[in-house]
Amino acid sequence: MPVQVPDLTPAVPQIYVLIMTCVTLLVSLFASKKHSAWTYILSQLTLLGAIVLTLLYFHHKSQVTFHGNMIVDHVSMLLTIFICAITFFVLLYSRDYIKQHKMPNTEYHVLVLFSTLGMMILVSSYSFVSIYVGLELFTLPLYALIALRRDSAVYSEAAMKYFVMGAIASGMLLYGLSMIYGATGSVQIAEVVKVISALPSSQHLIILFGLVFVIAGVAFKLGAVPFHMWVPDVYDGSPNTVTLMIATGPKIAAFGLVIRLLAETMPDVQLAWSHALMLIAVLSIGLGNIVAIVQSNIKRMLAYSSIAQMGYMLLGVIAGTANGYAAAMFYVLIYSLMSLAAFGLVAMLSRDGIDIQHIEDLRGLNERNPWLAFMMLIVMFSMAGIPPLAGFMAKIGVLEAVIAVGHVWLAAVALLFAIVGAYYYIRVVKVMYFDDPLQSTRIDLPTGDMRVALTVNGLSVLALGIFPGILMSLCQAAF
Amino acid sequence: MLTNYFPILVFIAIGIAVGGGLIIFSRLIAPNKPNAEKLSPYECGFPAFEDARLPFDVRYYLVAILFILFDLETAFFVPWAVVLHKIGLYGFLSMMVFLLILVVGFIYEWKKGALEWE
Amino acid sequence: MDNLIHNITLVIVFAPLVGALSTGLFCRKISKGLTFAITIGLMTLAFGLSVYLAKLVIFDGYTSNEIVYTWVKSGTFQFNVGFLVDKLTVLMLLTVNFVSLMVHVYSIGYMEGDKGIVRFFSYISGFTFAMLMLVTANNFFQLFFGWEGVGLVSYLLIGFWFNRPTANFGSLKAFVVNRVGDFGFILAIAAILNYFGTIDYAQVFALAPQMAANNVTMSIIGGTHSSVISVIGILLLIGAMGKSAQVPLHVWLPESMEGPTPISALIHAATMVTAGIFMICRMSPIIEYSQVTLSLILVIGATGALFTGLVGIVQHDIKRVVAYSTLSQLGYMMAALGASAYAAGMFHLMTHAAFKALLFLAAGSVIIAMHHEQDMRNMGGLRKYMPITYITFLIGALSLAAIPPFAGFFSKDAIIEAVKTATIAGSDYAYICVLIGSFVTATYIFRAFFLTFHGKERMSDKLKQQLHETKFVVTGPLMALAIPAIFLGMLIIKPILYPNGFSLLGKSIFVLPQHNVLASMGEEFHGVLAMVNHSVQTLPFWFAVSGIFVTWLCYNRFPELPAKIVKRFGIFYNILVMKYGFDDFNQIVIVRGGHRVAQWLYQVTDSEFIDDTFVNGSGRVVNAVSIAMRQLQSGYLYHYAFAMIVGLVAFLVWLIF
């Protein structure tokens, strides 16, 4: 019996990225030093091409291919577009940093591309096997990226921590998945759903057992309490642009993981996982916001803030309704945009001996470069959830979703900690605008395209706050 | 269904019993009178020249890892070769794609000089 | 066709915004010439298109009600941006864009040499945008956006010369008093959202009759029952009172004269202050069902028409006279609305926009010539020096005093007649007020006229030598505005008030049959000429003429007379000079009293109780918790792994058992 050839058209973006990544690798391997710009250009073309190819396919309805291992629906396409677009900005932001810090150009770009490919596969995978392949493909390059400068003890330490913790988490996830496979006899999500809903509830025990491990693995990827310990250390210990990479795209991919593994695979035990996520969300929001307050290092502060933000995002998932998932998706997309701008600014300003490490280093930024300070202000206010910025709309969405299913206390707790959280975001603004600068020299981004990109990035946060309608309705249409 | 796994359980139990049993058993019945000479490292009757924990060249690890990497493809090749006539052209091409990607990795490794000892 | 109207409206509304943003954001880099070109070019575009839109809507009878963009969707509530384009909207578009265009042109001359001229142009374009959003809204949300937008820009413009303390005080006062009105307005919107479940005009208006018929009530204070329609109507009225400066929320308007004169003309005479009038007209399908609200509107309007006019008689600042005149005329418009003669209110709004802008700009022209001297006691005899300003001011004054056949005559006469015809509670009182008001109107405006342009030349000799007519950019708009100030009334009285086939307002205004005073007046209307002829036999005409005569006596023939009168009737004079004590009352009771309460709240509750105990206390607690919790992050890998395992086990135990 010959194996049936699957329909490859839905997977064209992924195939394209794979081919282009190999091409990029070979070209930059054989090109002379003078032509190293080609690596950058090819990488960006890869990402833009992936966006265009996905957009071309966007009018299609949900489609399953590769023998039930891959699904291309609006969730995956929307996430793919954002992942590629955000990675595009990441590469743009990091171009100068790589040069300044003498990081290997070829490896940096190729690893970023492979990781992106992993995320793309992850968000459109429809079986446990492809989920795991995607997951590993997107995390392994990240470990390598952190330790790309082998001579630095700090980076090596961060990479080691991330790797060991990541391995434990993947192990847990894999264990959970094999447990569910054992109970249901299938790795394909479409099959698993059917089997679970047919199971009598007395036999749910083994599913629950697997579920707990799956949740642990997923929570690790999101960086949610109590699986968050790696987040501050890795964010802090990585090169700034790698932090930028880790803090943006992977959050979107992890959201995809949540949707595929929890929302789509186990709607029948929704009560169980939403209870677990509730605890995780509350702990994340609480711990993230509270501990962020005492951080003086800006990357650590943003790391704790990301823990809290992921907690907010989970609120939408907890609701378990289509509206809730849409709100969570909106949240994670907005968060990755904000995080992109915040870490991007930190990464791009760290040059020529100036290193932005501590919040204090931003003192008087308004006098040294008012426009950058304004962009940072937009992002900080948005993260704090101040209207009319995108972060506010995102928070409204998830809170509305949990209230709609009756968890008013959850919304109240979330709001309470949002107030606590506003403190450390606004402190950054205060430092930028009201403290005297240590040096009065003007500070600026390296090149014009970075200035434009950061402006686009910052203003998009504003624009999506004032006009959330389009993105919001796209998110709602996806579920 | 779980009954199918019963022999494995038995196997594990026997494994633990034998392994653990021997250690405990020898501890219980063997005479144990250590002295300094008995505990010192033994090397053909001479005192030891150097520490047993020798640092050896890190490049060896690199070679070892690369070896494992390419060795693993064999693990895919054998089952593939066995059913090649059943899976047809599609199966053949799939493996070629896999090989191609592997070759790209190989070119990278070669060009980077990972295969040269010095 | 719907699409065409929709797109045209989009361009009309957003053209001024583009102008405002492009000049405002680059105000330090852009040159003056370019600013004029951009803003005036875009305003011309907007005006031209609104003329075309007027043709489509008024003559060809198209209307459009479409949603442009859904801003937020929350449950069943939708917040949209949408345009309702009907005849009422188009009339407002024409008025607003015409006056705004004139002011743009005029400001080139008036603001010449001011350092903030680019900023100024950005503001007035921004104002026009907000006003257009307001009049084109098809829902309460957008209405409120425009409402607050014009309030904000008005605040910025009154305080345009921000280094003058009086300007800052004036802008603050305008803002605060408007907040009071806005508070009522936002409560009204909340009530509508609550009881109607939507904020879309069309749906709300469709539900209103049912709401009135079922006599739905709400309980504001325990045990009482108030009709929902009436409560909403009164709250809307409070909103309108703030923006349209009705007694007792009128106190901000005279202070607003601290802004540049074009602003006084644009915002505080012709457009923004009419927002309240427009809003009540727009809300006629709700207001009509509430007798109480109508009576209240009538009484408040009529009171304002008479009593604020009286204050105008004793002012010395030429702009303040015109400002009090605005208050009084707004009172007339309100009174018309109260009498259910919405069309008459709109009619007066339009004629008033023309002649009041004219008066303001003429006053501004005088002020430029006098080198920013505004006190009329230092003027006199200016007619020799400034003939164009003289004639245009006279036209404006005659129009304002309702002398036939000037524009103001037709509209004001219709209002007085409508109030007389009306039968609702308070209409008798209102009739007396508006009737005497017509005498008062003539008196204050001709007092200003004679003091400024006739009589002895009281200015210094040095100034006298420099006196000359102002430049064409200033006189041009004056002449342009003089035309509608004369002809607008006779041209549109028939289609707007007594439509017979061709109508200017059409179905955009709703009047219950039992309130329809204009219909009964229409039976006695036999054309413009007949109305002019007939006016000689009516009371308002003779009141107005006698007003002019009295002022002529007092200020031209016997200039020593006013001083004697003041001496004789000292008490009345003082009451008027004190403006009935509104300002003092506010200053003493509200400002000072509020200050004291605030001081107490600040010291006792805020700084001690809330700040120390709660804010700093919770801050300290959070900080302590935070410091304790950061210790968890030890940096050791095995601690982290341990935490993960513990977490996992905890979840296992929790979920499975």
Tell me the fold of B2-111: Methane Monooxygenase Hydroxylase; Chain G, domain 1 (1.20.58)
Question: Quick one: average pLDDT of C165-193?
Answer: 88
b/e per residue C280-294 (b: at least 16 CB within 10 A): bbbbbbbbbbbebbb
Give the residue on C whose Cα is nearest the Cα of A397: C74
Which pLDDT value is given to residue C585? 79
Give the residue on C whose Cα is nearest the Cα of A393: C72
Contact A134/C at CB under 8 A:
no
- Render pLDDT for C331-349 as a digit per residue (tens, 0 to 9): 999 999 998 888 899 899 8
Q: Which residues contact C632 (CB under 8 A, 6 or more apart)?
A: A229, C643
Q: ipTM of the predicted structure?
A: 0.86
pLDDT band at A234 (very low <50, low <70, confident <90, very high): very high
- Render pLDDT for A361-374 as a digit per residue (tens, 0 to 9): 888 888 888 899 99
Across the interface, which of C622, C643, C655 has its CB nearest the CB of A290? C622
Contact C648/A at CB under 8 A:
yes
Alpha-carbon distances, residue C124 vs A380, C350, C354 (angstroms): 32, 20, 18
Using a CB-CB cut-off of 8 Å, the residues of chain A touching C643 are 226-227, 229
Across the interface, which of C71, C622, C651 has its CB nearest the CB of A216? C651
Say which residue the tokens 């949002």 belong to.
Answer: A418
Backbone angles phi, psi at C22, to 5 degrees: -65, -35
8 A C-beta contact, residue A378 and residue A462: yes
8 A C-beta contact, residue A344 and residue A426: no
User: How far does Cα A35 stand from its chain's mean position?
Assistant: 32
The CA distance from A12 to C451, in Å, is 85
Question: Quick one: average pLDDT of C626-653?
Answer: 86
Angle of helix C291-313 relative to helix C570-577, nearest 10 degrees? 110
Which pLDDT value is given to residue A2? 59
CB neighbour class for C130 (10 Å; exposed up to 12, middle 13-18, buried from 19)? buried
Which pLDDT value is given to residue A88? 96
Question: Which residue, A19, A143, A132, is CA-closest to B101?
Answer: A19
Question: Which residue, C290, C272, C114, is CA-closest to C178?
Answer: C272
Q: Give A127's strand partners.
A: A188
Question: Which residue, A46, A167, A40, A48, is CA-closest to A114?
Answer: A46
Count of domains for chain A: 1
Across the interface, which of A1, A3, A22 has its CB nearest the CB of B104? A22
| Distance in Å, alpha carbon of A54 to nearest chain C alpha carbon | 26
Note if the bond before A267 is cis, omega within 30 degrees. no
Which pLDDT value is given to residue C464? 80
The CA distance from C287 to C100, in Å, is 30
Backbone angles phi, psi at A128, to 5 degrees: -60, -35
- Both structure tokens of C532: 């002019």
Which one of C28, C614, C620, C630 would you mutate to disrupt binding with A, by most A Cβ within 10 Å of its Cβ? C630
Which pLDDT value is given to residue C597? 87
- Render pLDDT for A375-392 as a digit per residue (tens, 0 to 9): 999 999 999 999 889 999
Q: Which residues contact C393 (CB under 8 A, 6 or more apart)?
A: C358, C359, C362, C363, C366, C449, C452, C453
**pLDDT surpasses 60 at A1:** no
**CB-based contact C644 A220, cutoff 8 Å:** yes
Question: Quick one: average pLDDT of A312-329?
Answer: 93
Q: How many residues does chain B have?
A: 118
Using a CB-CB cut-off of 8 Å, the residues of chain A touching C75 are 400
- Render pLDDT for A127-174 as a digit per residue (tens, 0 to 9): 999 999 999 999 999 999 999 988 889 999 999 999 999 999 999 999
DSSP-assigned letters across all residues of C559-618: TTHHHHHHHHTHHHHHHHHTGGGHHHHIIIIIIIHHHHHHHHIIIIIIIIIIIIIIIIHH
| Distance in Å, alpha carbon of C69 to nearest chain A alpha carbon | 8
Higher pLDDT, C72 or A455: A455
Which pLDDT value is given to residue A339? 95
Contact B86/A at CB under 8 A:
yes
The CA distance from B116 to C6, in Å, is 73
Angle of helix A204-222 relative to helix A153-184, nearest 10 degrees? 160
Higher pLDDT, C111 or A220: A220
pTM check: above 0.95 = no
Using a CB-CB cut-off of 8 Å, the residues of chain A touching C73 are 469, 472
Which pLDDT value is given to residue C24? 83
Mean pLDDT, chain C, integer: 85
Note if the bond before C248 is cis, omega within 30 degrees. yes
pLDDT band at A355 (very low <50, low <70, confident <90, very high): low
C5, containing H or E segment = helix C2-25
Which pLDDT value is given to residue A353? 59
Which pLDDT value is given to residue C255? 81
Alpha-carbon distances, residue A107 vs A102, A146, B61, B109, B115 (angstroms): 12, 12, 20, 12, 18
**CB-based contact A291 C643, cutoff 8 Å:** no
Using a CB-CB cut-off of 8 Å, the residues of chain C touching A295 are 630
Counted across chains A and C, CB pairs separated by less than 8 A come out at 92
Q: Largest Cα–Cα distance in chain A?
A: 76
* For chain B, domain boundaries: 2-111
| Distance in Å, alpha carbon of A122 to nearest chain B alpha carbon | 19
Contact A416/C at CB under 8 A:
no
**CB-based contact C641 A160, cutoff 8 Å:** no
Which pLDDT value is given to residue C225? 78
Neighbouring CB atoms inside 10 A of A101's CB total 16
Which pLDDT value is given to residue A47? 95
Query: Vertex C501, ends C499 and C503: CA angle to 5°?
Result: 45
8 A C-beta contact, residue C333 and residue C277: yes
| Distance in Å, alpha carbon of A347 to nearest chain B alpha carbon | 29
CB neighbour class for C198 (10 Å; exposed up to 12, middle 13-18, buried from 19)? middle
Alpha-carbon distances, residue A313 vs A125, A193, A325, A327, C637 (angstroms): 21, 24, 9, 8, 27
8 A C-beta contact, residue C335 and residue C298: yes
Give the residue ranges of DSSP H helices in A405-467.
Answer: 408-434, 448-466
CB neighbour class for A445 (10 Å; exposed up to 12, middle 13-18, buried from 19)? buried
Question: Which residue, A256, A222, A340, A336, is CA-closest to A78?
Answer: A256
Using a CB-CB cut-off of 8 Å, the residues of chain B touching A3 are 87-88, 90-91
Using DSSP's 3-state secondary structure scheme, residue A218 falls into: helix
* For chain C, domain boundaries: 1-81+93-135, 351-577, 596-656
- Both structure tokens of C475: 């006189």
Domain that holds residue A32: 9-478
8 A C-beta contact, residue C427 and residue C419: yes
The CA distance from C277 to C274, in Å, is 5
C297, containing H or E segment = helix C291-313
- Render pLDDT for B13-30 as a digit per residue (tens, 0 to 9): 999 999 999 999 888 888
Which one of B61, B104, B106, B110 would you mutate to disrupt binding with A, by most A Cβ within 10 Å of its Cβ? B104
Which pLDDT value is given to residue C550? 87
Q: Residue C430: what residue type?
A: A
pLDDT band at C222 (very low <50, low <70, confident <90, very high): low
